[in-house]
Amino acid sequence: MDDYQLNVTKVLENASKVYGKKEVVSRRVSDGSIFRYTYKDAWERVQRAANFLVDELGVKPGDRVGVIGWNTHRFFELYYAVPGVGAVVHEINLRLSPDDLTYIINHAGDRVLFLDDGLVRLLVESVKDKLKTVEKFVVMSDSKEVDTSLKPAYSYEALMDSAKPSYKFPVIDERSGAAMCYTTGTTGKPKGVVYSHRALMLHSIVAGLPSTINVSEKDAMLVLVPMFHVNAWGMPYGAPAVGAKLIFPAQFYAPDMILELVEKERATIAASVPTIWIMVVDYLKKTGKKVDLTGLKIVFGGSEPPLALMKTLAEMGATVQHAWGMTETTPLGTANIIKSYLEETLSEEEKWQLMTKQGLVAPMLEVKIVDETGKELPWDGKTPGELLIRGPWIAKSYYNDERSKDALLDGWFRTGDIATIDPEGYVKLVDRAKDLIKSGGEWISSVDLENAIMAHPGVKEATVIAVKHPKWQERPLAVVVPRDEYKGKLTKEEIIEFIRPKFAKWWLPDDVVFVNEIPKTSVGKFDKKILREKYKDYKLPTAE
């Protein structure tokens, strides 16, 4: 049998032939209006882009090509054109600080930088003098004129117009790099992860299986995950692989605009961090608007969705699902489906409790939990240990980074997550290792406390951090954002009493502080690093 190379361009090429009439819908960055074309149209533009990458921009195999922009059809085209010519598409997080933005562009060694016009262009212009490797800039907008201080600069659409409409893509070693992202962890500099053609192809196939996210030709996928974040969770590859429609929101994440896309484009799958849907639910409560989300499956990742949020969305008609992954896992690691015999035997509340877990390991992957010595721990649903994972799309190292030596344990990737695995194989994350609260020698899960607090009807958001304690080493401090109608009314005592039945007494937070907003990372997770710094000298009432 021939050694057929798995190259990502084959995904879109096939979609253009088999699902050529299927739509790709994108809001325009300039005004939020709708642009739409088909997979057949997209494939021609990808070929044009490949031609101008090589002929006009001088991109060579192995080069890193940076893209900094919102979720649009142009970014989608570069997902295929750049790796198609043998280069690596570096998806750049535009929400990073200027220092981190400069660091990752220089560290990756990006030779060409594609950027959206508008605020993104202004951001790049502000750091241009610190970019050591970028030789050419391409501005992405509807205009064929370029107005920027970046030099030399090209118009994406002007390049597209002048390029030939067909390109013979070379056969590329499937183990060579196709895409690249940097982690957005809250400790140290971002770490680069390179994804091979093989990893992306296998991931896109498995992510669509019924035992994971279950994507088919009938679906319309709303890509709410930023395209700079772990390949938008693989959706721009996974949807065309099965002929599903794609919907890109650009930068327009206001709840009403998300709901408009869901309704008008008949979205059936939307994947994002819980924060997005917390905002949507809050908007609906404030405005009194009613929506019917029947037919929409919402896939949560990034952090555990509060059970109250999942139930609220289900009451609106949506199907909800919890999945887990990391930048280093491409990202799908686990997905939560309820096994058929458990559907028949579990009560409704037991099913909900099961659905909060991160789920079952994806096909082709392996997981285990270990103690501090590396000893494997039992799958009993009780014993916590560090979660390790391995498989064909799991990172083996970081890009040009000495921290790679700490990433693996005997060939298994160390996630830094503390988890249990039950006898059925369901993974439950207890916490990030660095977020666990060690009180009197015992561990307290901040995640469990957060989700319990967010079930209170007056709570919009909540997070829990460790604060130093003279007797117990650390104790939990809850940081809470009340809903507007509860501001000035919600009390610490009410929060504690609400969650008291769910926890042992020593788990309960020693104090609750109310704030207007919880700081978030560039990908929408609660930024506990900022909170730990802010409250490092906080004096708990029990510390006296």
- The neighbouring-strand residues paired with 335 are 323, 360
User: Both tokens of residue 270?
Assistant: 């939307």
Residue 223 sits at the vertex; the CA angle it makes with 518 and 399, to the nearest 5 degrees, is 75
DSSP state of 474: E
Stretch (H or E) spanning 75? helix 73-84
Burial class (CB in 10 A: 0-12, 13-18, 19+), 101: buried
User: Both tokens of residue 64?
Assistant: 């890193």
Cis peptide before 306 (omega within 30 of 0): no
CA 279 to CA 308: how far, in whole Å?
Answer: 14
Among all residues, which ones are annotated catalytic?
Answer: 183, 328, 438, 443
CA 177 to CA 88: how far, in whole Å?
Answer: 6
- Residue found by looking up tokens 């392996």 in the block: 366
Report CA-CA distances (Å) from 248 to 196, 251, 281, 350, 435. 24, 9, 21, 35, 33
Residue 412 has phi, psi (to 5 degrees) of -100, 140
Report CA-CA distances (Å) from 22 to 12, 50, 139, 222. 12, 22, 27, 14
Closest C-alpha among 84, 266, 54 to residue 172: 84
Cis peptide before 331 (omega within 30 of 0): yes
CA 243 to CA 102: how far, in whole Å?
Answer: 37
Buried b (16+ CB within 10 A) or exposed e, 458-491: bbbbbbbbbbebeebebbbbbbbbbbeebeeebe
Buried b (16+ CB within 10 A) or exposed e, 337-373: bbeeeeeeeeeeeeeeebbbbbbbbbeebebbbbeee
